[in-house]
Every structure is written in C-alpha cells, then in structure tokens.
C-alpha cells in the first residue's frame, strides 16, 4: 500500500460523526484535504440502533467530503469503533519444545502464540479488534520485546486484547461494504487511535494514562514501557452531565449543554458563588435564576464518577497510579469543560495533568488545541504507528478486512 495515497477516516461517535480526507506526507505529517462534521444519527454508545438514519447521515457526510476534496471515496477507509460493548483483557500463553529440542522463534510462531492468547480469553461471539503484544519470555528470561530468531525450550507470550461483539462488526461492515459501497475498511478502537498518536514515545515508556472523555463514555488506556498494560471503556461521559443539568433545572437539553460549556466549573470550588444567570423552563414562559456554583457541584459529582472509575481500575489491577510518571493526558470533547484539569489535579496532586494536543497537522486553520479531533487524527496516523501484529502498511489481507468480507458474504448469501 502506498502511504502517500489519499485516504479517508471516520470517527463515529454518539454525538458527532467526523470525516477526514487526508494524505500522509514524507515527513509523516498529515495534510488535510477535507474535514467535515455532522450530528450523529442512528448510533448510540457505539451501537447501531437505526441503520437507515446512519446510512442517510453517512451519505451526506461522504458527499460533502467528496465535493470539497474533489475525490471519490471508494476504499482505503479507517473507521473508529467505540462504546461500552468494547472490552479488553490481558492474556498469556506458552509453548514448550518436545524432549531435548529447542524452539526457534520465527514470525509464524510469534503470531501463533499471540493468536492463542486470543483463543483462550475471547469467546466465539466476539471479534478481537486489536491483539497487542506485551512482550515475551524465553526460558525464564527478562521481558523480551522482539523474540524473532531466538531459541529456547519454553516460549511465553503476553498480550492485551481489545474485542467487540461480532454483531456490531457485522452491522457496521454491512453498512460500509453494501450500502455505502466503500471497500477496504480498517476498524480501530477510537481510544487506541487517539492514544497512539497523541502520546509521545517517552510518555508511553515512562508510563502514561490517556483519558478520552466523550459523549456517552470515557476511554481509558494505560501505557508502561511502551506497552498497553490495560484499557477500559468507562460508562460515563459529558452527555450525562448535560442530562443531570437539564433534569435538575427543568430546562431543555440544548440549553443544558450550553450551560455546561459556558457557565459551570467542573471543579466547583473554583466557581464564583456570586455569579447567577437566567434559565428558561420547558413549556413555560418564565425563567429561573441559577447560581453558577450550585450547578457546578452537580457537574463535579459526575466528573468525579470518572475519577472513581479510574482509581478502581488501578485497585483491581494492583497497580499504583503514581507509577505512571508522565501523568494523565486528557482528550475528547468532554474535556472541554472549565477547570477539569484542576479537578483531576485535586485528586491526583502528585501527577502531571495535561491536555493532548494535535501535532503535525497541515490545514488552513490551527487545530492543535481541538481535543474533539484527537481520535480522528489518530486514525489518519494509524499507518505510521506499528500497533498491531499484522502489517499496517498492507491491511488488504488483514484479519479485520477479511472479516468484513466474510461477514458481508454470509449476509448476502442469507438473502439469496
């Protein structure tokens, strides 16, 4: 696959669907030919709930991208998969040589061991989206990053697996291949896309926590020594804050969203207790006066839910969050709330708390601070980062693409 050819990426979220037509330059920076965003329809928390609505909005988005970039979008497309249906697990397996023989590790044996990690942990009704190796041990050695050409009597592999329901893959695959007539689709976990491109190699080596706060969920990925050590989709996002505000004030969701973005502080101690504003009531000509600090306390409780989940993940995995020396990196549209970094700092005073910036992006406007686009730009850089065991420079024969073709054929055969 030619890295310099024009490709397309779609970040499919519950609040927005973002589309990007791009080219990878020789210096590995991204040249944007077209960037468009539409209000999401037919998708809820990563699940396809109305295929017709989804297809309609995707067709509008594709048409808009094609018109601006002056290309026809037919193949070489990256898409995000997201939602609470995405699960992850760490796995390990080993292989012993027979009698007095020794095993020579080649690419085939390495992949066989990683596949076994999947087979023993993931049920048949789920598809392994990413099989990320965490290193190898040979005859009780220290952790080995690349075991190729090494020999030993016992080879042990460790892997981090991210998997999704086969059903979700089938529906999305059918939409792109059959309805949108787009081939060669590479599905990627949205949180992983943002993390691998948004974090530096030093940060991933020293230990870093990536938090992508979205509409319905928050993606969490922890790196240590350049490996993904664990990940999780936390079922709390910015939209829950909007709903809490609307329910408490009796106002519309649209007005609650505006209040969230402009009036409240996610760290209530920093809100001005003397600041008030008027809120319109649903089906009522009257308004009510609201105190900014009062409403900020409601929002803070919801954002602290994310923090509590984060602490619990480390407790369950018997890890100290202080081990992750590069700290916490915040991303996603849900992080565009006043003082959210200071709220995290209040709970983790010894950790560095920073926002993820978009780097090496060429466009007519500066997008470096647009955290809503981190995952989308991560997709565009997916070819650059060797993340999965399969080659990212030629995914025409990869598991994901062949899976899309297989499920599409099975669906079409069913209707024949």
CATH number at residue 326: 3.30.420.40
| Percent of the chain scoring above 90 in pLDDT | 76
Lowest mean pLDDT among 74-88, 181-195, 357-371, 376-390: 376-390
Q: Is residue 123 included in any domain, yes or no? A: yes
In which band, very low, low, confident or very high, does the pLDDT at 157 lie, cut at 50, 70 and 90?
A: very high
User: What DSSP element (H or E) covers 341?
Assistant: helix 340-347
φ, ψ (nearest 5 deg) of residue 214: -105, -155
State whether 156 and 273 are in the same domain. Answer: no
The whole-number pLDDT of residue 386 equals: 55
Work out the pLDDT band at 168, boundaries 50, 70, 90. confident
Report the Cα–Cα distance between both ends of the chain, in Å, rounded: 34
Final residue belonging to a domain, choices 147, 164, 181: 164
In a domain, 307, yes or no: yes
Range of the domain at 50: 7-84+166-199+360-415
Whole-number Å distance between alpha carbons of 384 and 116: 27
Q: Is residue 157 part of a domain?
A: yes
Task: Give the pLDDT confidence of 269-289 residue by residue, as tens digits.
Answer: 999 989 999 898 877 777 889
In which band, very low, low, confident or very high, does the pLDDT at 404 lie, cut at 50, 70 and 90?
A: low
Q: Please tell me whether residues 204 and 313 are part of one structural domain.
A: yes
DSSP string, 115-172: HHHHHHHS-TTEEEEEEEEEEEEETTPSPBS--TT-EESEEEEEEEEEEEEHHHHHHH
Which residue, 140, 164, 188, sits at the end of a domain? 164
Residue 134 sits in the same domain as residue 185? no
Same domain, 287 and 210: yes
Quickly state the pLDDT bin for 411 (edges 50, 70, 90).
very low
58 and 175 part of one domain? yes
Q: Rounded to 5 degrees, what angle do the CA atoms 412, 414, 416 make?
A: 70
Residue 83 has pLDDT above 90, yes or no: no
Residue 222 is inside which H or E element, if any? strand 218-224
For residues 51 and 129, the answer to whether their CB atoms sit within 8 Å is no
| pTM of the predicted model as reported, rounded to 2 decimal places | 0.88
Task: Say whether both 246 and 340 belong to one domain.
Answer: yes
On the CB side of 256, CA atoms within 13 Å amount to: 21
Q: How many whole angstroms separate alpha carbon 289 and alpha carbon 229?
A: 48
Same domain as 328, residue 210:
yes
**Where a domain ends, among 314, 333, 355?**
355
Written as six digits, the tokens of 90 are: 């760490």
User: Torsions phi, psi of 383, nearest 5?
Assistant: -65, -25
pLDDT tens-place string over residues 21-51: 999 998 989 999 999 999 999 998 888 999 9
What distance in Å separates the CA atoms of residue 8 and residue 353, rounded to the nearest whole number?
Answer: 32
The answer as to whether 2 is a domain residue is no
Question: Measured between alpha carbons, how far is 39 from 53 in angstroms, rounded to an integer?
Answer: 11
Question: Do 187 and 250 have their domain in common?
Answer: no
338 & 400 share domain: no
CA dihedral (377, 3, 399, 406) positive or negative: positive
* Residue 56 pLDDT: 96
Domain shared by 232 and 120, yes or no: no
99 lies in a domain? yes
305 and 215 share one domain:
yes
Query: DSSP letter at 239?
Result: H
Query: What gap in Å lies between CA 410 and CA 402, rounded to an integer?
Result: 12
Residue 285, Cα to own-chain centre: how many angstroms? 42
- Would you say residue 394 has pLDDT above 90? no
Tell whether 1 is covered by a domain: no
In a domain, 130, yes or no: yes
User: pLDDT value at position 405?
Assistant: 52
Same domain, yes or no, for 73 and 157? Answer: no
Q: Is the pLDDT of residue 318 over 80?
A: yes
pLDDT digit string (tens) for 323-339? Answer: 999 999 999 999 999 99
Residue 245 covered by a domain: yes
List the one residue out of 79, 81, 77, 80 whose CA is nearest residue 5: 77
Q: What is the domain-level CATH number for residue 112?
A: 3.30.1490.110
How many domains, in total, are found in the chain? Answer: 3
């Amino acid at each position: 696959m030619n890295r310099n050819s024009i490709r397309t990426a779609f970040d499919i979220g519950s609040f927005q669907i973002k589309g990007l037509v791009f080219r990878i330059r020789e210096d590995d920076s991204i040249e944007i030919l077209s960037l468009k965003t539409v209000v999401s329809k037919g998708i809820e928390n990563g699940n396809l709930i109305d295929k017709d609505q989804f297809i309609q909005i995707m067709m509008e988005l594709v048409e808009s991208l094609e018109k601006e970039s002056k290309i026809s979008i037919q193949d070489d497309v990256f898409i995000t998969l997201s939602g609470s249906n995405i699960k992850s697990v760490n796995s390990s397996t080993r292989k012993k040589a027979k009698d007095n023989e020794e095993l020579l590790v080649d690419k085939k044996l390495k992949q066989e061991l990683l596949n076994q990690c999947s087979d023993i942990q993931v049920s048949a009704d789920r598809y392994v989206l990413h099989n990320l190796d965490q290193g190898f041990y040979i005859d009780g050695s220290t952790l080995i990053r690349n075991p190729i050409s090494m020999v030993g009597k016992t080879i042990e592999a460790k892997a981090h697996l991210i998997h999704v329901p086969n059903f979700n893959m089938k529906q999305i695959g059918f939409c792109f291949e059959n309805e949108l007539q787009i081939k060669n689709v590479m599905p990627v976990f949205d949180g992983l896309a943002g993390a691998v491109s948004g974090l530096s190699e030093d940060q991933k080596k020293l230990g870093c926590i990536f938090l992508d706060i979205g509409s319905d969920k928050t993606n969490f990925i922890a790196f240590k020594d350049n490996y993904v050590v664990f990940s999780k989709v936390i079922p709390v996002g910015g939209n829950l804050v909007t709903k809490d505000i609307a329910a408490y004030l009796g106002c519309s969701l649209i007005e609650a969203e505006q209040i969230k973005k402009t009036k409240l502080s996610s760290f209530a101690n920093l809100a001005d207790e003397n600041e008030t504003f008027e809120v319109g009531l649903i089906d009522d000509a009257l308004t009510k006066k609201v105190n900014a600090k009062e409403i900020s306390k409601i929002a803070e409780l919801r954002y602290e839910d994310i923090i509590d989940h984060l602490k619990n993940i480390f407790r369950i995995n018997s890890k100290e969050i202080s081990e992750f020396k590069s700290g916490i990196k915040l991303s996603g549209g849900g992080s565009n709330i006043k003082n959210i970094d200071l709220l995290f700092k209040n709970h983790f005073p010894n950790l560095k708390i920073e926002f993820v910036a978009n780097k090496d992006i060429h466009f007519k406007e500066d997008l470096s601070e647009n955290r809503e686009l981190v995952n989308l730009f991560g997709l565009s850089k997916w070819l650059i980062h060797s993340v999965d065991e399969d080659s990212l420079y030629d995914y025409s024969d990869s598991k994901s693409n062949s899976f899309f073709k297989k499920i599409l054929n099975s669906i079409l055969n069913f209707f024949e």
